Structure 1
């Protein structure tokens, strides 16, 4: 019976996805992917919840898994084609609200990967917030994941 309880608890925790809470900032459901074994770049996606009474801003990200890490978004160009853009001003997380970093929109971009990412790898990434400071999270590489609906 004890083994069944342990297995149930383990599967329940696994179903929750990654979850990190630092003060009133909560980062959850983080995962990363690249386009394959020869990829020179990859991206990470996650949810940021701001449980404070004031606006917060994700201003940068750092990891030693690549030569450069930037905050990026996708925008439609004048020619109608979607293009990625570095977001130097960072991402605002409204007071009492959340911000989804997801495919085809805001995300964390890793350029110049030091090694190929394999399904199941863990990436240590430090997120820097304007008010909350640094939060270090572990992001799991999930090459098979389909995008979840983040419009809760």
Structure 2
């Protein structure tokens, strides 16, 4: 067997490996679920899934204000990406920027009353989609094992 044929055979074997397949299932399922959530949130609440994630972060504690840098880190966005996102959310009346106490160069972001109202509606939509496509297809024991395993994977990734 020549080198080209051997490389083609090895490449096909690697592409069809169990690990590639299993990880691909995880990514496809997560991507499709995120798309379903985003579509439902846009239709029902006129916000994107990413905006919902910002509102989760801002509504987690009453009266919490978060720096744009922290939002960027939490959402794995660039500084310019989070700035554009906050601009759109501010234009929609969902959030407002406020000066950071003691640091005139920094601004904090907080949800508005309208943002909290939209968040509550969006949280119900989010829960319906997650229940239908993430929870309901699984036996309760399998769901518990899945979420436990995902927690272990997340912990391993954080610990390294």
TM-score with structure 2 setting the length: 0.25
Higher helix proportion (structure 1 or 2)? 2
Larger radius of gyration: 2
**Structure ranking higher on relative contact order (CA contacts 8 Å, 6+ apart):** 1
